[in-house]
Amino acid sequence: MLLTILAFVFVLGVLIFVHELGHFLMARRIGVRVITFSLGFGPKIVGFRRGDTEYCISAVPLGGYVKMAGETPDDPRTGQPDEFLSKTKWERFQVLIMGPVMNILLAIVLMWVVLMQGARVPAFLDRPPVVGAVAAGSPAERGGVRPGDRIVRVAGRTVSTWEQLSMAIGTKARREVPIEVARNDQAITLSVTPDAQTKYEIGDIGVFPDVHPSIGQVIAGEAAEKGGLKAGDMVVSFNGQTINYGAQLTDAISKHPNETVVFGVQRGGVHQDIRVRPILQGKKGRVGISILDEFKTVQLGPVAAARMSLQRNYEFGGLIFQTLVGLLTRETSPRQLMGPVAIAQLSGESAALGWIALFSLMASISLNLGILNLLPIPVLDGGHIFIMALEGLARRDFSAKVKESMLLAGFAVLMLLMVTVIYNDLTRIQWIQKLMFWR
């Protein structure tokens, strides 16, 4: 629990600081007087003053703000050139845009740092999505997908790798999706409804690449050695069922203690069926082997890592926009939205795995924060920019009453969104979920 709290405070603190720093630096650059730079909202806990600016940490850590002189029509104004509304629309635009821009830049830098460390990733992720196996009873099987099919498009969008396929399917849980496959030189369109996996309801259709785990080590005297399994054997099936990942094999073995099972293995290019009898240990079966999935280590230099960081953030940004559009068109379930509780849980889990995992999570959240703040919703940075753009088109400034109405509408939208994400977070907590009799 303590690790989760500390990780959450660190992640949120850094992201908020960087966002507000963008506003602050640009305001200072164009000569706007900054009254307050605060991390958090509400009552001030600690702070100090330097020059015209008070720097402080406030009680509610779910945001922050930079208060500028003459920022709104309701603020006391003297008409001095160091007031925000005394600046041109172009100058005010620069101040507003720099918060989201700083979050996007942070995402790029963090991903660059992660990639520079080298990444151990599944070897199939960058391969074309040619189906090696289809899970029995899965959405893909029900939809007519077959082994050997090359998945070409998902909902009209081209997918070139398994990673792109995973991203395309992941946002469409419980939504009927057209999938185009290439089969025997023919283009076939199938209809598939992805299942919702994990508490975050990630879409999955039950297709696997043509990869198989191998046996890394065989423990002397254990069931595997007695049955004839050897280190280096590639396990392609278990009791006739195709095995693609090590987790599948581990799960299958655990369910068959004190039963004779059949490992289908490839050894030296020759297929063999080997019978083994797992022993019962605790409540699960085991045979005494270590299992290795096919991984590769990506080592990149600074330039290549920077290029890949830009590419990945571009792809993830596109996925965020697809998700937002999907929410409006009802193609994406609002159940996939996460709030502060889920972010705290993910922060703790990532911190437990190490700083590389934590930085990867921070990069993802920072990119989301930057893009979401650009949405044309009043109250957000993008909303203020949108209002200024409308004023520019109308060639006049809106009245304080009109702006107040627009900001109130934006606040209502944000509150609705906040209620949705907090409800989602609570439903992912098991003991709370049990109390929700209507679910």
> Annotated active-site positions, please?
20
Q: What sign does the dihedral 412-414-417-418 (CA atoms) show?
A: negative
Contact between 111 and 360 under an 8 Å Cβ cutoff? The reply is yes
Is 187 in a helix, a strand, or coil? strand
Q: What are phi and psi of 338, to 5 degrees?
A: -120, 145
Q: Roughly how many angstroms between the first and final C-alpha of the chain, as a whole number?
A: 27
DSSP one-letter string for 147-203: TT-EEEEETTEE--SHHHHHHHHHT-TTS-EEEEEEETTEEEEEEE-PEEETTTTEE
Contact between 390 and 396 under an 8 Å Cβ cutoff? The reply is no
Could you give the CA distance from residue 377 to residue 411 in angstroms, rounded to a whole number?
Answer: 8
How far is CA 277 from its chain centroid? 41
Could you give the CA distance from residue 79 to residue 85 in angstroms, rounded to a whole number?
Answer: 8
Is 129 in a helix, a strand, or coil? coil
Rg (CA), the chain: 27
